[in-house]
Chains A and B, each alone.
Chain A
Amino acid sequence: RKEVEQDPGPFNVPEGATVAFNCTYSNSASQSFFWYRQDCRKEPKLLMSVYSSGNEDGRFTAQLNRASQYISLLIRDSKLSDSATYLCVVTMAQGGSEKLVFGKGTKLTVNP
């Protein structure tokens, strides 16, 4: 099983649509979870952290299910500016510290 696995995508949706991305991770000991956004040929940027209780930031809602090792991101009322690749990111312990492990990403295109 891959360390972090995401929907292969791509997703093409009209403006205003609701879109959901899924992610699974292999290491049950992972402690921290994030969604990053990456525009074409740019650096990853933190979109939001994901907490066990679920969390919301405006149009974005993230959920975590530790038992299933599953993370989701829901985008409501999608905008053209939401077009990007969404990266599921999980921390994994390595020796005495942690590293970020990235999924391959799911590309979203929001169309007018």
Chain B
Amino acid sequence: EPEVTQTPSHQVTQMGQEVILRCVPISNHLYFYWYRQILGQKVEFLVSFYNNEISEKSEIFDDQFSVERPDGSNFTLKIRSTKLEDSAMYFCASSEWGGYANEKLFFGSGTQLSVL
């Protein structure tokens, strides 16, 4: 089965530093997403991306966050100046179609971000 690949699996950074989380979505997928899960909490939507632009974002996705698809295969999430509360597991996901076909959402195995 095709899979979404995320790197690194773990990232430790100092507060105030910039981090870039990387994802390689499934090759024929058109819709890309970032979700996050703080330890012990629910999975939360951050942002969706289609046709090289953000289609939706949550209130969590403030000016410190940005996404990019720099080369047609990678999909990145950048946090400009990390805060302690950014510590979480970040999941990338992709789907072939948007809308109701969210049931075909494929998640990557996640990047555990720890901000010290």
Chain A residues in the interface with B (C-beta under 8 A): 31-32, 34, 38, 41-46, 49, 87, 91, 94-105
Contacts and interface: CB of A to CB of B under 8 A. Distances in A.
A78 to B, nearest CB: 24
A102 B44 contact: yes
Contacts of A104: 41-42
Given A91-B102, A98-B102, A99-B48, A44 B43 contact: yes
Contacts of B55: 95-97
Interface of B: 35, 41-45, 48, 50, 55-56, 58, 89, 91, 98-100, 102-103, 105, 107-110, 112
SS of A interface (majority): strand
Contact of B103 (A34, A38, A41, A45): A34
Contacts of A43: 91, 107-110
Contacts of B99: 97-98
7 contacts: A32-B103, A34-B102, A43-B91, A46-B103, A97-B98, A100-B102, A100-B105
A36 to B, nearest CB: 8
Contacts of A42: 109-110
B56 A44 contact: no
B47 to A, nearest CB: 9
Given A102-B43, A102-B44, A94 B56 contact: yes
Contact of B42 (A32, A91, A98, A105): A105
A103 B109 CA distance: 19
A10 B21 CA distance: 32
